[in-house]
Amino acid sequence: MCGIIGITRAPVGDGSGRSDVLEVLLEGLGRLEYRGYDSAGIALVGPDASDGLWRARAANGTRSLKDLTKRAEDAPELSSAGIGHTRWATHGGPTEENAHPHVDCSAGLALVHNGIIENHVELADELVAAGHRLRSETDTEVLAHLIEVAVSDHPEIGLVGAVRAALGRVRGAFSLAVVCSDEPDLIVAARRVSPLLMGVTGDSAFLASDIPAILGLTRDFFVLEDDQMAELRPGSLRVTNFEGEEIDPQRITVDWDLEAARKDGYDDFMSKEMHEQPKAVADTLLDRLLPDGTLSLDEMHITNAELRAVNKVFIVACGSSYHAGLMAKYSIEHWARIPVEIDIASEFIYRDPVLDPTTLVIGVSQSGETADTRIAMEEARRQGAKVLVITNVVDSSMARGSDAVLYTRAGPEIGVAATKTHLAQITALEILALYLAQARQALSPHDARVLFEQMGVLPDKVALALERSADVEAVAATYRDSPSFMFLGRQVGYPVALEGALKLKELSYLRAEGFPAGELKHGPIALVEPGTVVIGVATRTPIWEKMMSNITEVKSRGATVVLVANDGDEETARQADAVLWVPETEYLFAPIIDVVPMQLFAYHLARLHGLDVDRPRNLAKVVTVE
Ligand code: F6R
């Protein structure tokens, strides 16, 4: 999740020849900071080939753009084209070396990229063996060198041909923009999966990953589709497919203001971020599921021998991250056959846990800064356990203070309530569960392959669940005046129920409690009276029948029942007053999908109550105190 901008513009015809390429880039980057702020950078070329390429980068967290603007005081006054980037680190820490734009060996061409190059390790090995000097830890830099190779092998193909040739070598997702001092008024762009929009006005052509960056320049945009390339020159745009055949690009006009554009037209960040969940899941899977059907988590730097030596897994986290851990407990125990304990971080710290070097302690934290979880990880390391952190923030305190890190790739989350980071956490934990099973040979290669394939279609299923937002809103409207809600689930449905209750109380300030449905008769059923609204997770699992018996128990006491059920499951629907439909999947992956209607329900109910879903009262996005 990074931001990209680029512009090529003829020098101003007032005799001064001055161009405002730099100003447009800096302003656009300011509007892209919500996409990531680990670093910011720009590269400028032209107006003559002999002017060479000028580049500046800064990596200073939320001050990156300020620092970059200061450095840009040294930029050449004249330039014909430029590209800029704000980064949310995924491969390589948030350092200046890793900041975009990246350049080739001669620093004559520069490139900005959003996405993930899955085969970057093998390409980097090949480039280094051929004498290239790679200066960063990013997956992106290989692209700059591949383009350099293509140009030097066949100078006649120019920058456009070289980018096309380079992209023929890569697997993964990308939107990118390239400038080169030899062709100083040209920007070459390409897209696969990650979005890119373009505009042309008068003597300019420009592009961006997000509308806000260039909304000041136009309201008419051309959309670059998957596997298309674009050539932008002052006042002109040419779009082709990867075979070089010209294409008429799709055109859209927006009437949003800047704030709406930052939210991609959604009413709020929470809604935008919920709709980014298919991508967050897909990106978290990228380059971890290899084409040969195995899993690779080499980035953790834990050997299979070390994983085989693990006798116990201890998951520690807070809030939604704790729920993600609870969901994964079932998968790790079932597939990898390792006992899993799980605890809330603030409890773990003071309970004198029994750990040793054969314990793998997994800290789960989207921010990587939560004080309770960070202190828990420090305690685990002090006791000699191996500490793995799952986080969304590269180089966060917890990432730095652990033995190993597995990054989720949800991009920055602005809404206070965790949504896309939560789904990315569950995805990462499920990958880890299968990886542990693979390392310990607890799963047959056939079973593993079937499961990996099912993981691959999870983003589409999450997207389907999100498409039912209006149906969920209608159910929320029916129960908007209920003063309290009871959430029930069993097995993997239990943490889904806990997450549903947490989301509802955070956003709508209503009493909402989650219980394991089997525990009802040991106390909570006393709360049920005619009209009590019970939301049950009743998707198909091996213990669906037991869950339905518990639903019968609450119904017979007069409860109104809303059930999360699999598409087409009329048997479940018959027991419900209202149904929240979701696609079916392997039951251990089901939380990734079943949580979606829970988020939507809480979201719509809060909005029906007129509440601010992005900034719920009393809550902070990052909790750095105990
Ligand atoms: C819920 C929510 C919180 C966080 C919790 C942990 O919507 O956002 O419950 O999950 O504060 O935060 P991280 O994951 O940053 O450690």
- The more confidently predicted of residues 495 and 447 is 495
Domain annotation covers residue 621? no
Select from 327, 426, 623, 624 the residue to mutate for testing ligand 1; criterion: most ligand atoms less than 8 Å from CB. Answer: 623
Burial class (CB in 10 A: 0-12, 13-18, 19+), 130: exposed
Distance 144 CA to ligand 1 centre (A): 38
**Which atom of ligand 1 is least distant from the CA of 317?**
16
199 and 304, same domain (yes or no): no
403 and 288, same domain (yes or no): yes
Domain annotation covers residue 184? yes
Domain annotation covers residue 615? no
Residue 623 CB less than 6 A away from ligand 1: yes
Confidence of residue 14 (pLDDT cuts 50, 70, 90): low
Domain annotation covers residue 613? no
Nearest protein Cα to ligand 1, atom 4: 319
Most confident range (mean pLDDT) of 112-116, 477-481, 617-621 is 477-481
**Rounded-to-integer distance, Cα 416 and Cα 615, Å:** 6
Domain annotation covers residue 599? yes
251 and 111, same domain (yes or no): yes
- At 46 the pLDDT is 86
348 and 232, same domain (yes or no): no
Domain annotation covers residue 625? no
Residue 504 CB less than 6 A away from ligand 1: no
495 and 435, same domain (yes or no): no
pLDDT over 80 at 393, yes or no: yes
Confidence of residue 18 (pLDDT cuts 50, 70, 90): low
CATH number of the domain where residue 490 is located: 3.40.50.10490
CB-based contacts of 519: which residues, under 8 Å, 6+ apart?
Answer: none
Angle between helices 141-153 and 158-167 (to 10 degrees): 120
- At 179 the pLDDT is 98
- Number of domains present in the structure of the chain: 3
- At 16 the pLDDT is 55
Q: Give Cα 441 distance to the centre of its chain.
A: 30
Angle at 261 between CA 256 and CA 264, to 5 degrees: 115
Nearest protein Cα to ligand 1, atom 12: 365
pLDDT over 80 at 236, yes or no: yes
Residue 365 CB less than 6 A away from ligand 1: yes
- At 296 the pLDDT is 86
Last residue of a domain, one of 259, 283, 310: 259
Please identify every residue annotated as catalytic.
2, 621
Question: What's the per-residue H, E or C state across 473-491?
Answer: HHHHHHCCCCCEEEEEECC
Range name among 100-114, 440-454, 566-580 with the lowest pLDDT average:
440-454
Q: CA of 626: how far to CAs of 195, 343, 345, 506, in Å?
A: 40, 16, 10, 19
The alpha carbon dihedral of 96, 98, 101, 106 has a sign of positive
Distance 369 CA to ligand 1 centre (A): 10
CATH number of the domain where residue 7 is located: 3.60.20.10
* Residue 221 domain boundaries: 3-259
Last residue of a domain, one of 411, 436, 456: 456
pLDDT over 70 at 15, yes or no: no
103 and 174, same domain (yes or no): yes
**Which atom of ligand 1 is least distant from the CA of 372?**
16
Residue 367 CB less than 6 A away from ligand 1: yes
Range name among 87-96, 594-603, 604-613 with the lowest pLDDT average:
87-96
452 and 596, same domain (yes or no): no
445 and 477, same domain (yes or no): no
Candidates 358, 492, 341, 392; CA nearest to 38 is 392
Burial class (CB in 10 A: 0-12, 13-18, 19+), 518: middle
Residue 396 CB less than 6 A away from ligand 1: no
308 and 211, same domain (yes or no): no
278 and 243, same domain (yes or no): no
493 and 534, same domain (yes or no): yes
Residue 319 CB less than 6 A away from ligand 1: yes
**Which atom of ligand 1 is least distant from the CA of 503?**
7
Helix (H) or strand (E) holding 284: helix 277-285
Last residue of a domain, one of 210, 236, 259: 259
E strands within 446-527?
A: 484-489, 511-516
66 and 197, same domain (yes or no): yes
Question: What radius of gyration do the chain's Cα atoms show?
Answer: 26
Domain annotation covers residue 618? no
Domain annotation covers residue 69? yes
